[in-house]
Chain A
Amino acid sequence: MTAANAPSLSPRANRFEPARLRREFPIFANNPGLVFLDSGASAQKPRSVIDGVAEFYRREYANVHRGVYRLSERATERYEEARETVQAFLNAADAREIVFVRNATEAINLVAGSWGAATLRPGDEVLISELEHHSNIVPWQILRDRIGIRLVVAPIDAEGGLDLAAFEGLFSERTRLVALTHVANATGAMVPVERVVRLAHRHGAKVLIDGSQAAPRLPVDVRALDCDFYAMTGHKLYGPTGIGVLYGRYELLETMPPWQGGGDMVLHVSFEKTLYQDPPHRFEAGTPNIAGAVGLALALDFIEELGREAIREHEEALTAYGADQLSRIPDLCLFGAGERRLGILSFDLDGVHPHDVASVLDQHHVAVRAGHHCAQPLMERLGVAGTTRASLGVYNDERDIDALAAAIEAAREIFLR
C-alpha cells in the first residue's frame, strides 16, 4: 500500500497522531497505562502484522520452493513478494540482493562467515567503532581468532559521536571492510554513513552498515548510500521476531560461498559434488521463516503507509523534546550522541544504578531498558557500568516523555533525596 491510499493517518500532513496510532497496537489496549519506551530493544506489533500472519497461516500456508501444488506456489509467492517489499523498502536494485535471515546479528555473522572467511587474509583489517553493539564486534573477533585478521576500532569523540578524523586516520592498505552502526543502539548517536561509505570506498574497503536502529526511524536507500551490505532486523521494524534482512550488492553476494549447508540452497547434490543456488537462496538453507517474512512485509507496508519521512520527523521532534525535558532534570546526565541523536535517550542519574532507576520507572508503568545494552566496550569508554535507556517508536508522544520525566523524579526522590 502506498501513502496515497492511506485513509486516516494522513502522512502527507506530516503530523503524527501517536495517541490514535496506539489503537493499531493491541498491546496498549491490553496493558492500560503502559508507557512503552523500549522500542529500541523490540518494537510492538500493529494489528495488521499480528492478524496478517495469523491469516497467512489460516489461508495460504505451505512450505516454499518445493510443492508443485497450488498452496505451496501461493506461499512461495507471498515469501518472494516479501523479498520485493524489502527490496523496495531499501531501494535495492534487485530483489536477489535481499537475503532473509533471523535478525541483524545473523546478517552480520553471514557476512563474516561467508564473505569474510573466504576473502580476508591474515593481517587484513576490519574497521569498526566504539559505538558498536556486540553483534558487530563478536563476529569479527571470532573471524580474527579463526584466520588472523586485525580488528581496528575507531574512537568516539568528546561529544559521543564517531570521531571522523580519527576514523579516517585508521585506514591502512590492509583495510578491507568497514563495519559500522547507522544509529548507535546504546546512545542514539547517528553515524554519518554517507561520508563513511565514501571514505571507505576511496580506500578500497567494502562497507557493512548495521541498520537495526536506523531502519525503523529513517528512510534508507542502499543505492544512494552506496553501501555494500546493510543489516536490519524485523522485530524492531514493528514486524515479527526471528526474521531479519541482509542486503548485499549482487556482484558481492555472487562471489560469496555458502554459509550454511542444507536444503533449498542447492541446485544438485551428489556425494561427489554439490552445486549451489545463486543468491539469495544460496544463503537460505533449510525451510526459512516463511510467516516471518510475510509478517515483515506487512510491517514494512505499515511503515510505508505512515510515511518514512513522517516517521523520521516524528522521531526527530520527539527525540529533541525528550532530550530537552530530560536535560532539565537535576542530577541527570544525558549521554552524548555526537552531532545528531535519533530515537534513543540514554542517561545516568548521578550514579544510581540503572536497574534501580528502571525498577522505579517500572512501578510507574514506564518500560525502559537498563544495563549495558550489549555495548559493553562503549559503556567502558563512557565510564559507566550501564545506562538507563528510553527509546522511541511511532506510538510514543510527548505525554510518554512527560511520564518518563515524572518517574525519574520519583527515582530521584528515593535515591537522591
Chain B
Amino acid sequence: MMDLRELYQEIILDHGRHPRNLRAIPEATHKAQGHNPLCGDRVTVYIAVEGERIADVSFEGRGCAISTAAASLMTEVLKGKTVAEARALFAAFHSRVTGAACEALFREVPGGADGALCEDLEEALERLEPLFGVKAYPARVKCATLSWHALEAALKNGAAKVTTE
C-alpha cells in the first residue's frame, strides 16, 4: 500500500476544504444528482451549455475529501470545454483511476482517436492527476468518479439521478 499522503495530497485537502464552484446554476441547461449508497454521499452537478461549449459548471453537496475535491477539480477543468471534450476527459480520467480502458468515448473527440488526447485535454488531465492515487484504494474509486458520473448523466438526460452502484 502506498503512503496515505499520496492519496491525501495537499491539493486534494485544499479542494476538499475549500471546494471551487460549490453553488447552483439557476439557468443550468443540464443537471443531475449523483448518489453513492455506500456512504450516503450526494452531489448535484449543474452545467450551462452554450452552443457546443460548457459555459459554466458547478456542484452542490458535500462528501468525503476525495469526492469533494474530485467534484471541485472537475468543475475547474471543464469550463470552456466542449461537451465531446468533457466526455473524453471523463473517459481518460476514469481509466486512470480504475485502470480500465474506456476508449470508445475517445473516438467522439476530434483528434482523440486511439485513446490519445489533444494537447489541451492532456493539460486538463494533468490537473486531475492528484486524484489518480485512489487507484490503490478500490473502496475509494467511487468517491473520485461520483461527480463525473453525475456529469455524464446530466449531459445525457438533461436532468437525472445516478448512483455509483
For residue B140, give the distance in angstroms from its CB to the closest CB of chain A. Answer: 6
Q: Are B4 and A359 in contact, CB atoms less than 8 angstroms apart?
A: yes
Q: Are A359 and B137 in contact, CB atoms less than 8 angstroms apart?
A: yes
A277, B64: Cα distance in complex, Å: 52
A82, B63: Cα distance in complex, Å: 45
Q: Are B40 and A356 in contact, CB atoms less than 8 angstroms apart?
A: no
Q: Are B39 and A359 in contact, CB atoms less than 8 angstroms apart?
A: no
| Contact mask for chain A residues 344-368; partner B; CB cutoff 8 A; 1 contact, 0 none | 0000000011111001100100000
Of B4, B139, B140, most buried by chain A (CB within 10 Å of CB) is B4
Q: Which of B37-73 contact A (CB under 8 A)?
A: 38-41, 62-66
A371 contacts the other chain (Cβ, under 8 Å)?
yes
B139 neighbours in A (Cβ, 8 Å): 355, 359
A356 neighbours in B (Cβ, 8 Å): 8, 16, 64-66
Interface size on B, residues (CB 8 A): 20
B97 contacts the other chain (Cβ, under 8 Å)?
no
Q: Are A415 and B39 in contact, CB atoms less than 8 angstroms apart?
A: no
Q: Are B39 and A354 in contact, CB atoms less than 8 angstroms apart?
A: yes
Q: Are B63 and A353 in contact, CB atoms less than 8 angstroms apart?
A: yes
Q: Are B64 and A371 in contact, CB atoms less than 8 angstroms apart?
A: no
Q: Are B4 and A386 in contact, CB atoms less than 8 angstroms apart?
A: no
B40 touches which of A359, A360, A363, A376 (Cβ 8 Å): A376
B62 neighbours in A (Cβ, 8 Å): 385
Q: Are A385 and B137 in contact, CB atoms less than 8 angstroms apart?
A: no
Q: Are A363 and B39 in contact, CB atoms less than 8 angstroms apart?
A: no
Chain A, interface residues (CB within 8 Å), range: 10 to 19
For residue B72, give the distance in angstroms from its CB to the closest CB of chain A. Answer: 14
Of A356, A372, A414, most buried by chain B (CB within 10 Å of CB) is A356
A370 contacts the other chain (Cβ, under 8 Å)?
yes
B4 touches which of A355, A370, A385, A414 (Cβ 8 Å): A414
A191 neighbours in B (Cβ, 8 Å): none
Tell me whether A415 and B1 are in contact in the complex, defined as CB-CB below 8 angstroms, given that A371-B40, A372-B40 are known contacts. no
B39 touches which of A352, A360, A385, A414 (Cβ 8 Å): A385
For residue A238, give the distance in angstroms from its CB to the closest CB of chain B. Answer: 25
A385 neighbours in B (Cβ, 8 Å): 39-41, 62-63
Of A354, A355, A371, A414, most buried by chain B (CB within 10 Å of CB) is A355
B116 contacts the other chain (Cβ, under 8 Å)?
no
For residue B38, give the distance in angstroms from its CB to the closest CB of chain A. Answer: 7
A414 neighbours in B (Cβ, 8 Å): 4-5, 8, 13
A379 contacts the other chain (Cβ, under 8 Å)?
yes
Q: Are B1 and A353 in contact, CB atoms less than 8 angstroms apart?
A: no
Tell me whether A353 and B65 are in contact in the complex, defined as CB-CB below 8 angstroms, given that A414-B4, A415-B13 are known contacts. yes
Which residue on A lies nearest to B17, using beta carbons? A415
Q: Are B65 and A360 in contact, CB atoms less than 8 angstroms apart?
A: no
Q: What are 5 sample pairs from A and B whose C-beta atoms fall under 8 A apart?
A: A353-B64, A359-B137, A385-B63, A414-B5, A415-B8
Interface positions of A (Cβ within 8 A of B): 352-356, 359-360, 363, 370-372, 376, 379, 385-386, 414-415
Q: Top 5 closest A-B pairs, CB basis?
A: A353-B64, A355-B64, A363-B4, A356-B65, A356-B64
